Amino acid sequence: MAIAHHLAAEGVTKIALAALGKDKLENVAADIRQKHPGTTVLTRETDVSNFSDCELLVAEVLNNFGSCDILVNNAGIAGVSPFEVATAKRLDAIIDVNLKGTMYLARCVLPSMMQAGRGHIVNIGSMSTKRIEPYNTIYMASKIGVLGWSHGLRAEMQTRKTGVTVHLVNPGILSDGGMAVNHPAATRAVMAEAIKAGGSSTRSEVADAISKVIKYDIPEMTVNSKDFKWEVYEPVTEWFKAVAEEQLMPKKVGLCEGQHSIQV
């Protein structure tokens, strides 16, 4: 988790990692402890689409650390699919994790932040909020929901003078993770053309953006190597089409199904 490593390098000494997959969590925690001596790392396997899981996570963080100053909402699953074949289960999963999970975790941690009179909630959005993406419409809906809610909650916190602030970071296509490494070579070749047309970002660039929005209280930052417009980018569409076709083939595994969330 590049974000956790970056925050540790920036001087955050108490970090809680939450995701599905206990072994992966423990491996990341051990790596952080080794590379950043003196950093305390707590791990808890958490399904952010389950409100009770989020409550238990926050309770454990507050019990061990006393407070939570920064929440990075980085949970997400992909939603590439022709819309007419998406099942209700698939629709629910994408909205439950990408939108409701983000809101659940913020809802659970916000009272303690408001009581302390300080705190940063950083939500991870997407370039899907900045351009039109056929074959990716469910994911678009979930992330545009995060965008609207983030700005609304930020304004609410400011109006009420709580000392809590909310930020949004929108990564472009990750060139060094996620779909860039989880697909056959043919699909990755189409992705390369999508990046040429629509731009990309790296995990370290996204982590750096998170630090910047916190440090300078920036409402929203988009991390992408190219300028963008609210329009359809044909090579990006072709890439999503290729991914959708790949997923419809028998015995293919869904993409980016893991949830990843960092609580600091």
pLDDT, tens only, 162-203:
999 999 999 999 999 877 677 788 888 999 999 999 999 999
Token pair 């009581």 in the structure block, residue: 115
Closest to 183 (Cα-Cα) out of 89, 261, 174: 174
264 versus 197: the higher-pLDDT residue is: 197
Return the structure tokens found at 50: 């389950």
pLDDT, tens only, 129-159:
999 999 999 999 999 999 999 999 999 999 9
pTM beyond 0.75: yes
Is residue 133 within 8 Å of 140, Cβ to Cβ?
yes
DSSP, collapsed to helix, strand or coil, labels residue 168 as strand
Is residue 205 within 8 Å of 175, Cβ to Cβ?
no
The residue from 135, 139, 216, 233 that is catalytic is 139
**Residues 57-86: what's their mean pLDDT?**
97
Q: How confident is the model at residue 68 (pLDDT cuts 50, 70, 90)?
A: very high
Q: How long a stretch of residues is the chain? A: 264
Domains of the chain: 2-171+210-231+258-263 (3.40.50.720)
Number of Cα atoms under 13 Å in the Cβ half of residue 198: 31
Q: Is 135 a catalytic residue?
A: no
Q: List Cβ neighbours of 108 (8 Å cut-off, separation of 6 or more).
A: 51, 54, 55, 57, 58
Model pLDDT, residue 35: 97
Sign of the dihedral through C-alpha 83, 88, 91, 94:
negative
Closest to 19 (Cα-Cα) out of 41, 1, 45, 43: 45
Return the structure tokens found at 98: 């990408």
Model pLDDT, residue 261: 45
Closest to 75 (Cα-Cα) out of 42, 99, 107: 99
Q: Give the span between the Cα atoms of 153 and 150, in whole angstroms.
A: 5
